[in-house]
Amino acid sequence: MTIKVYRVSGMTCGGCAKHVEKALRSVAGVTSVVVDVAKGTATIEGVAPFEALAASVGAAGYELITPA
């Protein structure tokens, strides 16, 4: 499994972090997600491609940016 840290744009509160976490967990190949709203990051473990992760986060109203 691979662990990557991505920046997430648009998060302002804990509720935002929960939305981003839910979006990322819905992507096939993701085994673990930790979202840190204070740092503006999402740490993702799994084999899902960036494009799928970014599309899911985008559909939730946020932007996933290439690895931090």
Q: How far apart are CA 3 and CA 16, in angstroms?
A: 22
Kindly state the DSSP code that residue 5 receives in the 8-state scheme: E
Q: How far apart are CA 2 and CA 45, in angstroms?
A: 6
Confidence of residue 11 (pLDDT cuts 50, 70, 90): very high
The pTM of the full predicted model, rounded to 2 decimals, is 0.92
| Tens of pLDDT, residues 21-60 | 999 999 999 999 999 999 999 999 999 999 999 999 999 9
Q: Quick one: tokens of 65?
A: 């940016």
The pLDDT score that the predictor gives to residue 66 is 83
Is the pLDDT score of 68 beyond 70?
no
In the chain, what are the domains? 2-67 (3.30.70.100)
